[in-house]
Amino acid sequence: MKKLLITKVLPDATLDAAHARFNVTLRNETKGLSVAEAAAALRDYDAILPTLGDTFSAEAFTGDIRCGVLANFGVGYNHIDVAAARAAGVAVSNTPDAVTDATADIGLTLILSVCRRAGEGERILRAGQWKGWQPTQMLGTHATGKTVGIVGMGRIGQAVARRCHYGFGMPVLYFNRSPKSVDLPARQVDSLHDLMAQADIIVVTVPGGGSNTNMIDAAALAAMKPTGIFVNIARGDVVDEDALIAALQDRRIAGAGLDVYAKEPLVPESLRALENVVLLPHLGTAALEVREAMGQMALNNIIAWDEGRPLPQAVTS
């Protein structure tokens, strides 16, 4: 029976399925694997089911390696050096399809929460500061009909676009590094600057890491309308967090909604102090049935590896 390391506690259904097939070690900690711990795991286990926060950098893939597969729990894998894994003979998979709708739903949650100042309103009410309904009380942005700009028109970007267009009558613009055809009314723009300047609401859905690091920098944010809303449901490292904080502090953009951060779980105090930002604790896929589906998908990739079959969700780039 192959030795499997699961780096964080997963839903019971996933753990039960794993125990039925493998000799499982469950790491009961919230902090991710360090580089040294990742290297030790690669040496000691046949298969590993890692997730966000585990540091499988190039340095981890040195020395003796027993592990044959990293079946990542999550669609994002910027915490894994895929090239180093491949060179070491370690296959890598992720869980792309299982997360699409849930992550897009969080995108809409943030759009509406920022536009209608829901977080600020709840804080006022809970603090006992609400004085009753008034015609000019907490006026926000009417989301219906606003132009949404999607940064990265992959599965999640398209799911957000469909919700915005068909649910809220929003014209859809998008920026993609390569030409991309989609099956909904939407227009691709030539540059990120053009998208940031033209859209009322920006939603970022690109993968993290690599050339996307700090893709949304000070210049990109400066191109936005003063009434613009910025939403990030991608990865925290896609955004220059200091530049975003400065734009929000100076009211150069109207507001932001964030589900991810540059140094999770650290969220800067200067960001937490702002009223014009809605902050969620990385809830993108936080629904039980979604997490169960992610866990089973990750296990299916490990089982495929164990049986000598191609990984169904192999990461190839």
Q: Which residues are catalytic?
A: 235, 264, 282
Residues in the chain, overall count? 317
- Could you give phi then psi for residue 204, rounded to 5 degrees? -100, 125
Separation of alpha carbons 177 and 262, rounded Å: 22
Single-letter amino acid code for the residue at 48 = I
Sign of CA dihedral 273, 232, 10, 35: negative
Q: Which of 244, 199, 202 is nearest to 110 (CA)?
A: 202
Separation of alpha carbons 49 and 15, rounded Å: 11
**Other C-beta atoms lying within 10 Å of the C-beta of residue 145:** 10
Query: How many Å is the maximal CA-CA distance in the chain?
Result: 69
Residue 85 parent element (H or E): helix 82-87
- CB contact burial 195-210 (16+ within 10 A = b; e otherwise): bbbbbbbbbbbbbbbe
| Cα-based torsion angle of the residue sequence 205, 281, 123, 160 in order, rounded to the nearest 10 degrees | 20
Single-letter amino acid code for the residue at 179 = P
Q: Which of 14, 55, 48, 9 is nearest to 32 (CA)?
A: 55
